Amino acid sequence: MAEILRAVKGMNDIFPASVPRKASETLPTSNLWQWFEQTARNVLQRYGYQNLMTPIVEPTSLFVRGIGEVTDIVEKEMYSFEDTMNGDKLTLRPEFTAGIVRAVIEHNALYNGPLRLWSTGPLFRHERPQKGRYRQFHQLDVEALGFAGPDTDAEQILLTRTLLRELGLKEGEHIRLEINSLGQPAERAAHRAALVGYFEANAALLDEDSQRRLKTNPLRILDSKNPAMQAMIDAAPKLMAFLGPETMAHFDAVRAVLDAVGLEYRINPRLVRGLDYYNLTVFEWITEQLGSQGTVCGGGRYDGLIEQLGGKPAPAVGWGLGIERLLLLLEAVGVVPPDQAPDAYAVVGGDEARVPAMVAAEALRAAGVSVLQHAAGPEGLPSLKAQFKKANASGARFALVFAGEELARGVVGLKPLRGGEAEQVERPLSDVAAWAAELRNA
């Protein structure tokens, strides 16, 4: 036998629930995924966000400039390669924002005013694979470009709340919101200077990684998970103390909206986010149910990025939601997607019934009914009993019975498959549209 090929480590196949899963499988089903996407599109539409699609591959320099040279992503997580045809340096996108900003600048898309956009698809980061952390993963990404005021920060947080709620998650019980303000660049510079002084005074307590970060990106020391450094980190100067009245007014205005709609949150002064480009409001939705992969959704304001990538200065705010993590959370708390079984299963009595059954199934599908048709194999059709077994297993609510005697009279048998011993009834094949509604899942 030929050797079996396997998917690249950390990159996954997402199967429907009807395919039995390996005992070791921890990935969500495509049924849950599809329901998530449907729900998300519906919510995004209600908030007036429109879809933008950008390439999966971008010039490496976009991410180096956009995300920042001394971030985990650019330092060690990017899938970068050379185009063997022309030597171009390319990268599989590790996040959405830089590509979206590039597209908006390239097409001068803010010319007519601000934009509310969303995107979804695969992202790539070379990380150690584990539950909720993969090398190819997916995000729903939402960006509002050209909006300066706190209303848009608040709107986006409310959008995330609506989405999480409509997926069946409960705030406080399954997931909670943390927010913070990162201030403006000058305020951060003042804080950074104080922080560097503090860390230098405590240099003996810094581990090797943090020693290095002290020279490159001292703020990242605050993210260190080293237990031996926690007490020292907790006592470090807080950014809040360096934030001026304008920054605080923006933050308070965001909070006023959250308070007015009764959305509870915790202000977490340690919430800094992994990427360099954020300013003012940042937020994360966090769960305790997924171990250390607890951040399901995160984002905030990034007013400097458009100019940094060569565009006319314009403010922006956005967030990304990790789809795999969110779906794992939904499974962990017992959320099941609505029934996706077909409305009807077409049971075919004999060879002469195959074509009429297919014609009727087409008419039913045109009328909005989902029909799974039993397909004849090379040996023809199995017994009606065997087909009914398949019909029951499919989860369909009705069997459509196409058999010789009924067909001769121009009717199809309609047998409810759930709810006990319901009687089979007959419906005319001449006017399928007239009774199709009976089959459709209300």
- Enumerate the known binding-site residues: 95-97, 125, 139, 143, 273, 277-278
CB of 188 to ligand ATP, least distance (A): 18
Burial class (CB in 10 A: 0-12, 13-18, 19+), 308: middle
User: Does residue 65 belong to the site contacting ligand ATP (CB under 6 A)?
Assistant: no
Residue closer to ligand ATP by CB (options 327, 396) is 327
Q: Residues at the annotated binding site for L-histidine?
A: 95-97, 125, 139, 143, 273, 277-278
**397 touching ligand ATP, by CB under 6 A:** no
3-state secondary structure of 343: coil
Q: What are the structure tokens assigned to 203, written together?
A: 């240099």
Contacts of 155 (CB under 8 A, 6+ apart): 47, 144
Give the shortest CB-428-to-ligand ATP separation in angstroms: 53
- CA angle 413–416–421, rounded 5-degree value: 105
Q: Is 220 in the site for ligand ATP (CB under 6 A)?
A: no
Nearer to ligand ATP, 116 or 325 (CB): 325
CB atoms within 10 A of CB 142: 28
Stretch that binds ligand ATP, among 224-232, 263-271, 294-302, 357-365 (CB under 6 A): 294-302
Give the number of residues written for the chain. 442
Closest separation in Å from C-beta 287 to ligand ATP:
10
Q: Which x/- pattern over 253-282 shows residues binding ligand ATP (rule: CB under 6 A)?
A: ---------------------x--------
The residue of the chain with the least Cβ separation from ligand ATP equals 322
Q: Does 298 bind ligand ATP (CB under 6 A)?
A: yes
Residues 270 and 299: beta-carbon distance below 8 Å: no
User: 3-class DSSP state for residue 169?
Assistant: coil
CB of 49 or CB of 283, closer to ligand ATP:
283
Helix 150-166 vs helix 30-46: crossing angle, to nearest 10: 140
By CB under 6 A, is residue 322 in contact with ligand ATP? yes
Both tokens assigned to 289: 């149910």
Window 86 to 125, contacts with ligand ATP (CB under 6 A): 95, 125
Structure tokens at 69: 């040279």
| Spatial separation of the C-alpha atoms in residues 393 and 375, rounded to whole Å | 15
Q: Tell me the H-state helices in 333-374.
A: 354-366
- Cβ at position 205, least distance to ligand ATP in Å: 23
| Cross-strand pairs, 347 | 401
In the complex with ligand ATP, the residue whose CB is nearer, 223 or 352, is 223
Q: Which positions touch ligand ATP (CB under 6 A)?
A: 95, 125, 127, 132-134, 137, 139, 274, 293, 295-298, 320, 322, 324-325
